[in-house]
Amino acid sequence: MRPPGPAAPGVEPGRIVQPAEQLRYARWLEWGTRFGLALLVVLFVAYAAGLVEPHVPHSRLPEVWNLPVSQFLAATALPAGWTWLDHVHRGDIANLVGICLLAGISVLALAALVPLYLRRGDRVYAALCITEMAVLLLAASGLLAGGH
């Protein structure tokens, strides 16, 4: 934030001007969040209405719902870690796509900043964005925790 002083030419005194990178990041987060939430609603409605076959049939849910996690996973044969992607065609697992989009939208928003920084010659900021994206993706991969 700039210290108080004369406003930039063409800007009203006291008006805060948001830098282009903040606006771009916020726009990506806003639209990604909206799309992710809409996707979650659509996929859940398809699952709940029975339009897509679930991995665990609705009729089995009362029998397995109160089991401890290890027993629930054994009884339902749900995929572990990223292997859920092999079963994304199942209604109850498809919902994870929306959750992943919501969790990962910040990576896409950071990626949208890199060209802006490179055009301006801000290689350090571009490198910081790329590094942060790499850290987030590495954390999500589960490689550091022995895999998921």
pTM summary value: 0.74
How far is it, in rounded angstroms, from Cα 53 to Cα 59? 12
Average pLDDT value over all residues in the chain: 89
Quick: pLDDT tens for 7-19: 556 667 778 889 9
Percent of the chain with pLDDT over 90: 71
Report pLDDT for 80: 80
DSSP secondary-structure letter at 7? P
Quick: pLDDT tens for 78-88: 888 888 899 99
Report pLDDT for 2: 47
Quick: pLDDT tens for 27-64: 999 999 999 999 999 999 999 999 999 999 999 999 99
Contact 38, 105 (CB under 8 A): no
> Amino acid letter at 87?
H
How far is it, in rounded angstroms, from Cα 48 to Cα 41? 10
